[in-house]
A = this chain, B = another copy of it.
């Protein structure tokens, strides 16, 4: 099963995307025959000359452009854009997954239209997994849906729990709601209504968590609406950068690097670096779509291929679909 790669998406496309694909080959994450490159032939040509191994990948031409500022639905009228061409390849079964660092909104809109929802899901959500103090913590939605209802958030809880259990291997994931206080009566209208639904859900709901508790491991899955989630994701990224920039100078000294402090600093910097995560899955669509950061570099791209290959193997969607079918209801409530 191939992984389709959007060679045109992202701030540093096609250069960093293509070098990232080559890096994934070098690292042994995937083989060239496992990648389907999608992009503008003429604009990719110069890079093919520089990275000849790319010629070993299957290729599909995409000649329409999607701008980062485009309204998300605009992509639906561009069947020859790299996003739409790649989605079609996933839909037809030529590819088993799609990775893009292009406009998140466009990817979500195209996935929803072309691949369609997984049975009983009303809105897709993007899940990001951080390495917390005690294990991986999945936060969703981080930006697919900024008009969430309590029902959407409940479905994110269900999907996030299944993802955590089936992909991350957490036996009995604890699901929490991101709020501005732990107490039941805290929060805005959306969170309060959602809490009532969560109380009736089948998953292990452990109550509210606050922003300062995300990394401590009080919950394995944290649900929030897409605006808040996107801000959280980017604050983590910003603090990571800030920290990275601060220690960069002293960390150039090999003695510092190898000191116990240097080793810890390197580990923390890595944990807060989004490029290590290699993209975030769009849960709730009938196909595997990985959304990458717009500023992704070759390292992020290579990691996205590594993670996607794992996801293809784990067959996440089949598991989610099976669990939703077994539950009988998409909202995870006892039926």
Whether A212 contacts B234 by the Cβ 8 Å rule is yes
**Binding stretch for chain B, among A21-29, A42-50, A55-63, A256-264:** A256-264
**Binding stretch for chain B, among A32-40, A155-163, A177-185, A283-291:** A177-185
Whether B227 contacts A211 by the Cβ 8 Å rule is no
Cβ of A231 under 8 Å from chain B: yes
* Contacts from A to B (Cβ < 8 Å): 68-69, 71, 133, 143, 146-147, 178, 180, 183, 185, 187-188, 191, 210-216, 224, 226-228, 230-239, 241-243, 245-247, 249-251, 253, 256, 259-265, 267-268, 272
Which residues of chain B have C-beta atoms less than 8 A from A215's C-beta? 238-239, 241-242
Whether A214 contacts B235 by the Cβ 8 Å rule is yes
Distance A57 CA – B13 CA, assembled complex (angstroms): 65
Whether B260 contacts A232 by the Cβ 8 Å rule is no
CB distance from A243 to the nearest CB of B (A): 6
Distance A264 CA – B247 CA, assembled complex (angstroms): 6
Interface of A, secondary structure class, is helix
Which residues of chain B have C-beta atoms less than 8 A from A214's C-beta? 235, 238
Which residues of chain B have C-beta atoms less than 8 A from A147's C-beta? 188
Which residues of chain B have C-beta atoms less than 8 A from A238's C-beta? 211-216
Which residues of chain B have C-beta atoms less than 8 A from A261's C-beta? 247, 250-251, 253, 256, 259, 261-262, 265
CB distance from A296 to the nearest CB of B (A): 13
CB distance from A233 to the nearest CB of B (A): 7
Question: Which 4 residue pairs spanning A and B have beta carbons closest together?
Answer: A211-B234, A212-B238, A250-B261, A211-B235
Distance A69 CA – B183 CA, assembled complex (angstroms): 6
Whether A256 contacts B267 by the Cβ 8 Å rule is no
Which residue of chain B has the shortest Cβ distance to A245 in the bound complex? B133
Which of B146, B183, B241, B247 is the one whose CB lies under 8 Å from A212? B241
Which residues of chain B have C-beta atoms less than 8 A from A191's C-beta? 227
Which of B146, B232, B256 is the one whose CB lies under 8 Å from A187? B146
